[in-house]
Structure 1
Amino acid sequence: MKKILNVTLLFALITTFLWNQSIASADELTGHAHENGLRYLISKNALVPDKNGSYRANDNVTRGEFASYLSKVLHLSENNGIKFNDVDDTYAYTLDIQLATTAGIITGYSDGSFKPTAAISRQHMAIMLERTIDYLKIPKGTSSITFKDNDSIISDYRPAVAIGAHLGIINGSNGYFMPEKNATIGQAATFIQRLMLLTDDKDTDIFTYAIKEISNGALVGNQGFTNFADAEKALTKNNQVIVENDKIVKMSSGYVVTNKYVALYSETIKDQIAVAGNTEMEYLSSDATQVKVRLADQVGYLKQADVTLIPFSLSKGRSYYINENGENKHVIYDHATNKYSASYIYGKAPAFMKPGESYFSWNGIYFTNGNGSSKGNAYNYYQFLPARATTNYTAQEIDEYITKKLAEIESSGAGIYKDATTKSKLIGLGTTLKEIETKHQINAMLILALAQHESAYGMSDHAQKLNNLFGLYVYDTNPLNKNFESVAANINELVEKFLQPNYITPGGAPGRNFANGAVIGSKAMGFNVKYASDPYWGAKIAGHYYRAEKTMGFKDAGNPYTIGLTTTTGLNVRPEPTTGNSPLFAYTRSGMPVIVTNKSTNGWYEVISDKLHTGPAYISKEYIQIIETVK
């Protein structure tokens, strides 16, 4: 298949296979500026070591050697027997010179000589490369590329130099071509490999994969392979990676970043999960086409083309958590710009977090420090508080908080928040939220936190123009601008068509697998698994709840619910503390958060049912793990 590559890709040369006879000389070439091209010529039997085992990469290449390289790489076979008066039959490259002459790639001088042992100049090399381009029938296009020393190039050779530069085969330095300067064997090898990257010659082995070693924050060395399996077998060190066209496709450890919005099929829940671009995930393994990752606690596969693999030792920056004034601050790194781009505070810092020290977590629960040492679990209370909780705040207190918050954001001077105190769609929502809480048993403060996050405190375009506080029907792939007659109607639709039937009630609506725990949660559990592609959506909403509590006096955290996690699949939740009755429902997954209201019921925990139920519900103590929450 013809390979059409731009100049940038041509510089990212694919490496070559190490033949057994050249392994002893690998150290000589490893890290050489022209290592890729040299190994390519070796693989084609065009370059062989001298009697001392050296490939003389830095020696000047002769006219005879260059002709030989081209002849062997092109597998030339037609010979019309042309002879030069200074090339006798005993010369090592006589046959290759004849073959290249027959192909029209080289010519001699007017006196009948070829000067095979003379060092070749860069401009003479350029003309031979142009003739090879013509021989291979590679489209040359047109080029106006000139160098600062263009006048020093033989006038007849200037088009050849321009074409070579245009196709990315030859380069100058600081704008100069240096036409009379002699080329080295290493440079010649690179020029020829760049040329062959443009060919559709079926016999040309352009090696796709290479093993590189991480050294001092850079990738060095190359071993080239035609397929991933051979490259994988050759990995021997933890600091080695496999690259494909300079893209890392396998490593021993590191993390994975999504290049764009993707759908991850989770083997954990047997369902697809939407994942936003710039999401960091734990790297598990990879092959030539896909990467196995863990997103929070979801294990699945993504296409190589959709992600970037980053070894820890090559990381330029990574999202982290930090204890800032006793609060847990999450700082986000943008891998597209290589800058820390955003941050948010979403609760109090756990006791093990030392101020000023960076911590990392794949799921927002289990944290390690910078050297990977275990530090502990930290369940944010607001993030993992089940939705059936009842807030201690009244409608009036909620309205007073909204008024105060709107005044605060209006005073920030941000354009979107101009006139927030008079225009925000959150104004006066306290009564509506408390009515929803009573009727549907869904925490009023949780809904408020969700509204604040999704609607920019009621000031987003969807909120202002469509009364849509929650981005309902506004998907990453197909936004639908549905107009609601009122904000109250929008909240009721959120509850009655989304949260209640799909996200809170265990099992969800028939044919829809959205119920992964009745908490806002994360990509591990809760609404966040399916509701939003942002993996930190649940934590950000928890931050709104926390900051509201901070303003209002921590009435909810001061009188907290006891939260537990289920520890088995297929767990029955019963209307009485006995197995002698039909269950209300069953949790298909383990690790589901529940509110425990009584721990003294003869081997049972009394809990609040996630399925609407007028009385208490019960789960065997054996299958509930009480967790400590940070609040």
Structure 2
Amino acid sequence: MKKTLNVTLLFALITTLLWNPGIATADELTGHAHENGLRYLISKNALVPDTNGSYNANNNVTRGEFASYLSKVLNLTESNEIQFNDVPDTYAYALDIKFAATAGIITGYSDGSFKPTAAISRQHMAVMLERAIDYLKIPKGTSSITFKDNDSIVAEYRPAVAVGAHLGIINGSNGYFMPEKNATIGQAATFIQRLMLLAGDQEANVSTYIIKEVSNGALVGNQSFTNFADAEKALTKNNQVIVQNDKIIKMSSGFVVTNKYVALASETIKDQIPVAGNTEMEYLGSDATQVKVRLAGQVGYLKQTDVTLFPFALKKDRSYYSNENGEIKHVIYDHTTNKYSASYIYGKAPAFMKPNEKYYSWDGIYFTNDSGSSKGNAYNYYQFLPARATTQYTAQEIDDYITNKLAEMESSGASIYKDATTKSKLIGLGTTLKDMEAKHQINAMLILALAQHESAYGMSDHAQKLNNLFGLYVYDTNPLNKNFESVTANINELIEKFLQPNYITPGGAPGKNFANGAVIGSKAMGFNVKYASDPYWGAKIAGHYYRAEKAMGFKDAGNPYTIGLTTTTGLNVRPEPTTGNSPLFTYARSGMPVIVTNSDANGWYEVISDKLHTGPAYISKEYIQIIETVK
């Protein structure tokens, strides 16, 4: 499982654009992969044919040509008479080069040259594009994107490459950027068109908007408009959608699926949330460039190019929950292959779930049927049990469970579990886990469940070779193969560098907004909000805990903790049941899970403090909602 932890997901903004053949008669550019960009440059008088009438779209673009394209598209007209020693006034692009240099978009070499006829490298192009981004005052955001050949990029050019890739203007191939490779005129045209789309140039968007109707499982109709606003005004029926380049970009209702790993800018918690590809989300609305979605209660926006919209009437299928022999099973649908791809059981099924029926949920808490009618809500005990809980299992019982589980995995015949009973890094961890629980007040079984999930029961390469049970520092964009001297050191690092300061302690470490509830949770609350992009990561870990309980006799669920949720923002947690003292800490957001240890404290609930504290903590009963958990 790849993480995000301290790394914001970096992603491409715009895919290759398609040309509407109705806009121009067929010629040498018709059907070209970069036709849209080429025609855009032509419309700006930046690209002109040669004496034979050809645009030479597949030729390498020169430094002079690329500077001229930018100058023309940006409508640069000011010159401070910057002169390069190899750009005479008679050179075809001399004036455009002066304009671009005056605007700060290009610079020359230390010998005073510009080398206008040299084919431009991809890294030099990225630098010019970044300067154009600055000139246009386009927000660059924060990016630390890297490619597999990052070391081949000139160090001072790496930020420009990262910005271009982050904004979707330039892309790599199979994880490589190929900095020294030259770009074609066609590719340069697409890069510039993407730049100008970001700048809001409507002329850069030459695609038409078509209204179609959903009828008998298909899209019919061909009413076209030159701009999104007019198409949107023409929508009169709930079964109508707006299509651009054969892609639905607006509908009345349905769901949204991420095409790849993205970052959702959540307006709910004012933070970036990593989201894996093939994640289903609620559709709330859209315009020509972005889609408003809700993921487990987190409302935010994603770019149209990052998602696919599915009207309910056109869906082939979707992920669902079911009651399988009294247990809740989550079956995941892959929208790229149109097949069910995985499933897992993670607890007892709630009472309202009937066998042989499908249930749907955006957050794993509130469930509906296929028509959207509410069927009930359920909080899985293991998924929403705060980390400060203490398991009732002894070190020996945990070791016995690990031994039996490894034998089970080994007998499965899967190659990864070959010799698991003798090689797994989980062997003999019971005492270590219980010692950690006593020292750090973090549930030993929770740590074990996390280790099982992240390390394939201690048999993954990172576990075997690096003693890394938790995928620490294995970021999506730049995995760091850190070698831990022992599994114990790895567990200590997880607790002391990640969970304790960032994910459990309210407020988290300075500058880090990872504390969204001290539970493994979901994208609604808990570690899962930021720790992993998989929206079901918390539920899957809960499944490991549940299956361990099932094997060991349900000692924890048999004597459960009482769990409540906070109901207000800015809630102070006190060291005594009175407001006459300074708070231990404050919950910035509502919906934070707490363990209630005493409900009879004169209008206060006694709770276990999420911040390490030797005694109990207290919250006014007015601000706690006790929840029923399924266990």
TM-score normalised to structure 2 length? 0.69
- The Cα of 1:140 is off from its aligned counterpart by 12
1:280 corresponds in structure 2 to: 280
Deviations 1:522-572 (A, max 9, x none): 000000000001000000000000000000000000000000000000001
CA distance in structure 2 between the partners assigned to 1:135 and 1:219 by the alignment: 43
Give ranges in structure 1 of 5+ residues lacking alignment.
15-36, 45-68, 71-133, 142-199
In structure 2, do the counterparts of structure 1 residues 486 and 527 end up closer, same or farther at CA, with 3 Å as the change threshold? same
Letter in 1 for 2:618: Y
1:597 corresponds in structure 2 to: 597
CA distance in structure 2 between the partners assigned to 1:578 and 1:207 by the alignment: 64
Alignment of 1:442-481 (within 5 A): 442-481=442-481
1:555 corresponds in structure 2 to: 555
- Runs of 4+, deviation exceeding 6 Å: 134-141, 202-206
Specify the SS of the correspondent of 1:330.
Answer: strand
- The Cα of 1:137 is off from its aligned counterpart by 6.3
| Equivalent residues of 1:574, 1:582 under 8 A apart | yes
Deviations 1:289-344 (A, max 9, x none): 11111111111111101111111110011010011111100000111111100000
2:408 corresponds in structure 1 to: 408
- The Cα of 1:512 is off from its aligned counterpart by 0.5
CA distance in structure 2 between the partners assigned to 1:573 and 1:205 by the alignment: 53
CA distance in structure 2 between the partners assigned to 1:452 and 1:421 by the alignment: 14
CA distance in structure 1 between the partners assigned to 2:219 and 2:56 by the alignment: 34
- The Cα of 1:204 is off from its aligned counterpart by 14
CA distance in structure 2 between the partners assigned to 1:576 and 1:376 by the alignment: 36
- Answer with 1 or 2: which has the greater Rg: 1
Letter in 1 for 2:422: T
| Equivalent residues of 1:207, 1:225 under 8 A apart | no
Aligned length: 451
Specify the SS of the correspondent of 1:401.
Answer: helix
1:397 corresponds in structure 2 to: 397
Letter in 2 for 1:390: T
Letter in 2 for 1:500: Q
| Equivalent residues of 2:18, 2:207 under 8 A apart | no
CA distance in structure 2 between the partners assigned to 1:307 and 1:203 by the alignment: 24
CA distance in structure 2 between the partners assigned to 1:212 and 1:268 by the alignment: 33
| Equivalent residues of 1:571, 1:588 under 8 A apart | yes
Give ranges in structure 2 of 5+ residues lacking alignment.
1-14, 27-50, 59-192, 194-201
Deviations 1:362-421 (A, max 9, x none): 011000011111011100000000000000000000000000000000000000000000
CA distance in structure 1 between the partners assigned to 2:377 and 2:317 by the alignment: 23
Specify the SS of the correspondent of 1:211.
Answer: strand
2:172 corresponds in structure 1 to: none
CA distance in structure 2 between the partners assigned to 1:591 and 1:546 by the alignment: 23
In structure 2, do the counterparts of structure 1 residues 391 and 230 end up closer, same or farther at CA, with 3 Å as the change threshold? same
Alignment of 1:192-211 (within 5 A): 208-211=208-211
1:569 corresponds in structure 2 to: 569
Specify the SS of the correspondent of 2:599.
Answer: strand
Alignment of 1:332-347 (within 5 A): 332-347=332-347
1:55 corresponds in structure 2 to: none
| Equivalent residues of 1:365, 1:378 under 8 A apart | yes
In structure 2, do the counterparts of structure 1 residues 497 and 229 end up closer, same or farther at CA, with 3 Å as the change threshold? same
In structure 2, do the counterparts of structure 1 residues 578 and 208 end up closer, same or farther at CA, with 3 Å as the change threshold? same
Does 2:236 correspond to 1:248? no
1:239 corresponds in structure 2 to: 239
Specify the SS of the correspondent of 2:507.
Answer: coil
Alignment of 1:102-501 (within 5 A): 208-501=208-501
CA distance in structure 1 between the partners assigned to 2:287 and 2:301 by the alignment: 10
Deviations 1:176-213 (A, max 9, x none): xxxxxxxxxxxxxxxxxxxxxxxx9x999965101000
| Equivalent residues of 2:329, 2:345 under 8 A apart | yes
- The Cα of 1:139 is off from its aligned counterpart by 8.1
Identity over aligned residues, as a percent?
86
In structure 2, do the counterparts of structure 1 residues 140 and 498 end up closer, same or farther at CA, with 3 Å as the change threshold? closer
| Equivalent residues of 2:518, 2:593 under 8 A apart | yes
In structure 2, do the counterparts of structure 1 residues 408 and 230 end up closer, same or farther at CA, with 3 Å as the change threshold? same
| Equivalent residues of 2:522, 2:528 under 8 A apart | yes
CA distance in structure 1 between the partners assigned to 2:495 and 2:525 by the alignment: 19
CA distance in structure 1 between the partners assigned to 2:499 and 2:210 by the alignment: 49
In structure 2, do the counterparts of structure 1 residues 527 and 338 end up closer, same or farther at CA, with 3 Å as the change threshold? same
| Equivalent residues of 2:385, 2:563 under 8 A apart | yes
Specify the SS of the correspondent of 1:359.
Answer: coil
CA distance in structure 2 between the partners assigned to 1:136 and 1:220 by the alignment: 39
CA distance in structure 2 between the partners assigned to 1:227 and 1:135 by the alignment: 35
1:542 corresponds in structure 2 to: 542
Deviations 1:136-155 (A, max 9, x none): 968899xxxxxxxxxxxxxx
- By relative contact order (CA 8 Å, sep 6+), the higher-ranking structure is 2
Letter in 2 for 1:333: Y
Letter in 1 for 2:501: P
CA distance in structure 2 between the partners assigned to 1:355 and 1:278 by the alignment: 27
- The Cα of 1:350 is off from its aligned counterpart by 0.4
1:64 corresponds in structure 2 to: none
- The Cα of 1:619 is off from its aligned counterpart by 0.3
Letter in 1 for 2:547: R
Letter in 1 for 2:293: V
Specify the SS of the correspondent of 2:291.
Answer: strand
In structure 2, do the counterparts of structure 1 residues 138 and 298 end up closer, same or farther at CA, with 3 Å as the change threshold? same
CA distance in structure 2 between the partners assigned to 1:253 and 1:475 by the alignment: 35
CA distance in structure 1 between the partners assigned to 2:469 and 2:331 by the alignment: 26
1:174 corresponds in structure 2 to: none
CA distance in structure 2 between the partners assigned to 1:540 and 1:272 by the alignment: 22
CA distance in structure 2 between the partners assigned to 1:529 and 1:401 by the alignment: 30
1:194 corresponds in structure 2 to: none
In structure 2, do the counterparts of structure 1 residues 608 and 213 end up closer, same or farther at CA, with 3 Å as the change threshold? same
In structure 2, do the counterparts of structure 1 residues 508 and 9 end up closer, same or farther at CA, with 3 Å as the change threshold? closer
1:183 corresponds in structure 2 to: none
CA distance in structure 1 between the partners assigned to 2:203 and 2:542 by the alignment: 60
Specify the SS of the correspondent of 1:358.
Answer: coil
